[in-house]
Amino acid sequence: MMDCKKALAEAKGDLEQAFILLRKRGTAVAERKAGRVTSEGSVASYIHAGGKIGVLVEVNCESDFVARTDDFKELIHDIAMHIAASDPKFVRKEDVTPEAYAREKEIFLAQAVASGKPPHIAEKMVAGKMEKFYEEVCLLEQPFIKDQTVSVGQLVATKIGKLGENIAVRRFARFKVGETGMTVAFTTPKTDGGDEAAAPVGK
């Protein structure tokens, strides 16, 4: 409540600006807490489209107390619903496999060269397309389905700022009736408490 009052005062009563300030502070808090170990959390499921799509997702936090809060439960539910709708293939940019990265870069570079662009322009075009690629396939980079002005990563950062603990999406699985495979993506903890990318199993 005090944070809201301070933000509103700084924004001179402008609600939209106050909201932006709060979101920025949430991101700053998230960056400070990013290295902290997340050994608690919860697994949630979401079933969509009359039982045609199902998602399981694990989201971790630092304490069982936070894991039991309504804010944390709402976050997990929103993430599971987002995965059902948007079908990401990886959790984070860092989880994109070298093979997937090289394949996409090669395609984009070939397209740029075929369009007749000089090499230095082609490289810039590829860099821009790779950022778009990350936004399409990485959960934390995707625009959140309930509010396209923020990414899923920013949504998580806002909750970190509100709850005061580090929060990390650990893994998810997405199933769709009629498909021969499923999307499974995950990160694995390192001994220092950080995250190490693990190769996802695509459809």
Q: Give pLDDT tens digits for 71-111.
A: 999 999 999 999 999 999 999 999 999 999 999 999 988 88
On whether the 97-137 domain is CATH 1.10.286, my answer is yes
On average, the pLDDT of the chain sits at 83
- Whole-model pTM: value is 0.73
Q: Give every CB contact of residue 53 below 8 A, 6+ residues apart in sequence.
A: 47, 84, 174, 175, 176, 177
pLDDT digits (tens, 9 = 90+) for 178-194: 888 788 998 855 433 44
Q: Which of 183, 196, 156, 198 is nearest to 83 (CA)?
A: 183
Give domain limits for the chain.
34-90+146-201, 97-137
Confidence tier at 138 by pLDDT (50, 70, 90)? very high
Residue-wise over 92-130: b if at least 16 C-beta within 10 A, else e? bbebbeeebeeebeeebbeebeeeeeeeeebeebbeebb
Give the pairing of strands 195-201 and 143-144.
unpaired
- Token couple for 146: 């309930």
Which pLDDT does position 25 carry in this prediction? 61
- Can you tell me which residue has the tokens 């395609």? 107
Confidence tier at 32 by pLDDT (50, 70, 90) = low
Find out whether 156 and 150 touch, Cβ atoms under 8 Å: no
Instruction: Identify the band that residue 14 occupies on the pLDDT scale cut at 50, 70 and 90.
Output: confident
Q: For residue 174, what pLDDT is reported? A: 96
pLDDT band at 151 (very low <50, low <70, confident <90, very high): very high
CATH architecture of 34-90+146-201: 2-Layer Sandwich (3.30)
| Amino acid (one-letter) located at 159 | K
Tokens of residue 159, six digits: 């909750």
Q: Is the pLDDT higher at 166 or at 18?
A: 166
pLDDT for the residue numbered 194 = 43
pLDDT for residue 51 is more than 70: yes
Give the model's pLDDT for residue 182.
82
Q: What is the pLDDT of residue 199?
A: 40
